A and B are shown apart, each in its own frame.
Chain A
Amino acid sequence: MLLLHTTIVHKPAPVGQDIHSEEFLRRLMRRQLRLSIICAATFLIALLGLPLVNYFFPELMARRIFGFTLTWFILGVLFFPLVWAIAWVFIKKSMALEAAEVREVCAAEVERMKLKK
């Protein structure tokens, strides 16, 4: 780890593949933002959709399930596991993404060292 660190900090890397390039940052942010937005969209559809369903289908949402009304059951009970599931998927994916980014940078660094030799 320390080795990797010093390599990147002290050797000015050639333009193109290196982590200071515009291209690298753009791709990095786009990938992260894509993941965040997909997760947020899933969650927002449920969160912002529920009032709409309540609005347009009041009879359906007033049906009884285990004594609750359907809408009470969704909001008061089912919502929490949904949020946990989304968070869990996001954490898994974003950690995998970070690992992949580190691997790519390392691989590019190794390539460059080989070329220099």
Chain B
Amino acid sequence: MHLDPWILTFSLATVAATVWMGFWSARKSRTAHDFFVAGRSVSVGWNASAISGEYLSAASFMGVAGMVMKNGYDALWYPVCYACGYLFLLLFIAGPLRRFGAYTIPDFAEGRYDSPVFRKIAVVFVLFIGFFYTMPQMKGAGTTLAYIFPGLPYWAGVLLVGAVITVNVALGGMKGITLVQAVQYWVKMFAISVPIFVLMAVCGHYGRQIEENGGGAAPQIPPSLNKTNVVLLTKDDLEGLRKASANTVSRITKKPMPEKAPADSTWLNPFGPLTTKAAKAAKLSPEESKPYSLLYTYSLIIALVCGTAGLPHILVRFYTNPDGAAAKRTTMWVMILIGVFYLFPPIFGVIGRNLLPELYAATGAKGTDKVVLELPRMLNERFPGWGSVLSGITCAGAFAAFMSTFSGLLVSMTGALAHDVYGRILRPRSTPEQRLKAFKVCAVIVGAFAIVLGMQVEQFDINFMVGQAFAIAAASYFPLLFLSAWWRNMSMKGAAAGMLGGGVLALAGISLTSFSDLKWLPLEAFWTGHPLLRILCEQPAIWAVPLAIMLMIVVSKLTRREVPVDVRMKMLVLHAPEKLGLKQEYIQEHVQAH
């Protein structure tokens, strides 16, 4: 494949615009406050766009389309639950957390339990989940650059993109990043929607494209018509005939499927290849494997919904709102913005299945993952040149996707390192200038580390790594935040036990399956003998989340005496309307007490 000038132009423009915006807003952010929480003065519209921009990562932009193309219906849970997780955040966590008013999750952990030890544990978790989530972004960067510049080594792409973002964050901090991310949301939205509308106008709309896949309910000539003695045609028969004929006409556009592609019926209907993999490996019949498939689906839903509510880089953003009401309105807008966005990637997957089935033959970044980048080029056959322009636009969107998510992660991890490790643990008496400098140094350290990690993960799957981060967040942060906000009898030991227990066990389960998939552990025979265990290890949320909650409750009951004495006041601050001004009172009391 040769270097396409349009694709190159659009991608370079995105990178250049990102760098320029970073420098431009760097001049506007001066104080430490600006760097950590954007001065808490970001308007609802900007903040909602920025959160959405940060959230729609390489996995959402490229991965979801590829997954839908590869696995069909089951993969639809990903975009839906990515969007729905925000509802949980809004219902149970966003309001209380914002009223409590702390810079970061570790701040919340320490404030809620009066425990510097717990702060350290929380910092470690922020960094840990953050690095897990940066690796797939780096992988997305490396593979997209390899697509644009055929022949460029994977590591060079990672290095280039990583360095650009690191410089950006070090110069602009949170405020610079807010602007960049907000703009990048709209770049992504434009990049995913415009090519889709053009493709649908040329090749047939969403529903028609799905209709191409006959599946279990394939329209056939009604059986009653085959009997010669039938003279009456019912309305249903006529309808069936019409559909059957429409289908034979439209089938012309659908290319023949290669062997590796899933069959129409398994692709189109629930409980398809994604959720039945373990049961199939155990050679169970389709009927026997259905309950396993249902279990897998539920575990996936829990991981994605609870994981969204627990991702640290998303939570930090709630602190950039001026007040709790604005935080709620922001969440509403975020849901609308990402909900609209998530309508589109599955359409890429569906059209890709019909028009680009040759992608099924390869795996990973060379396979269905690049359907978003590759599909618009199909239009070159009918409108020379325009396909490349549209493909350039989607490449720009892909750039915006991994750049904005990586910068958001970098800000939250740098914040944890500079604010918590340096500002609170190492040098509590440092001046604001020193902290500002520490922020910049930490950004470079974290960025460099993320680049090195990103170079190691070339053979891992983008979506798999994102799934890991979600499952771990679901089993650690979500129970912590949920119970801390709503259950007053929680002790620090209970919180820590649940968070560590849930998170570490979920990680262990996931690692077991991934190590055996990479052939580092000889577990293949074991998994085929125990499909249930395989599912529970691969998708641990269904047991890890309840386990974490149980641990928190049991250990808190055992250490009842260690529940903070002023827990009633803390709960009041978490729940009473901000207009009552309880926070200031709480801070005054706290200062006197210490």
A interface list, Cβ under 8 A from B: 1, 4-5, 8-9, 19-20, 22, 25, 28-29, 32-33, 36, 39-40, 43, 47-48, 51-52, 54-55, 58-59, 61-64, 66-69, 71-72, 75-77, 79-80, 83-84, 86-88, 90-91, 94-95, 98-99, 101-102, 105
User: Complex: how many Å from CA A5 to CA B575?
Assistant: 17
| Across the A-B interface, the 3 shortest Cβ-Cβ residue pairs | A67-B207, A67-B211, A80-B339
B interface list, Cβ under 8 A from A: 73, 76-77, 80-81, 83-84, 86-88, 90-92, 95, 205-211, 215-217, 243, 268-271, 290, 294, 297-298, 301, 305, 324-325, 328-329, 331-332, 335-336, 339-340, 342-343, 346, 486, 568-569, 571-572, 575-577, 579-582, 584-585, 588
User: Complex: how many Å from CA A20 to CA B268?
Assistant: 57
A91→B328 contact, CB < 8 A: yes
The answer to whether residues A76 and B76 also contact, given A9-B585, A67-B210 and a CB cut-off of 8 A, is: yes
The answer to whether residues A80 and B342 also contact, given A62-B216, A72-B76 and a CB cut-off of 8 A, is: yes
Contact partner, B83, options A55, A58, A68, A83, Cβ 8 Å = A83
Q: A29-B571, A64-B211, A98-B579 are in contact. List 13 more A-B contacts (CB 8 A).
A: A4-B580, A19-B576, A48-B298, A48-B301, A51-B294, A52-B294, A62-B215, A67-B211, A69-B268, A76-B76, A80-B80, A83-B335, A84-B335
The answer to whether residues A87 and B577 also contact, given A58-B216, A72-B268, A79-B84 and a CB cut-off of 8 A, is: no
- Count of CB-CB pairs between chains A and B under 8 Å: 160
Q: Nearest Cβ distance between residue B107 and chain A, in whole angstroms?
A: 22
B270→A25 contact, CB < 8 A: no
User: Complex: how many Å from CA A28 to CA B568?
Assistant: 12
A67→B581 contact, CB < 8 A: no
Interface of A is mostly: helix
Contact partner, A61, options B270, B298, B339, Cβ 8 Å = B270
The answer to whether residues A87 and B87 also contact, given A51-B298, A62-B216 and a CB cut-off of 8 A, is: yes
Interface of B is mostly: helix
Q: Nearest Cβ distance between residue B232 and chain A, in whole angstroms?
A: 24
The answer to whether residues A67 and B83 also contact, given A47-B305, A102-B577 and a CB cut-off of 8 A, is: no
Residues of chain B within 8 A of A83, CB atoms compared: 83-84, 87, 335, 339
Residues of chain A within 8 A of B216, CB atoms compared: 58, 62
User: Complex: how many Å from CA A86 to CA B73?
Assistant: 24
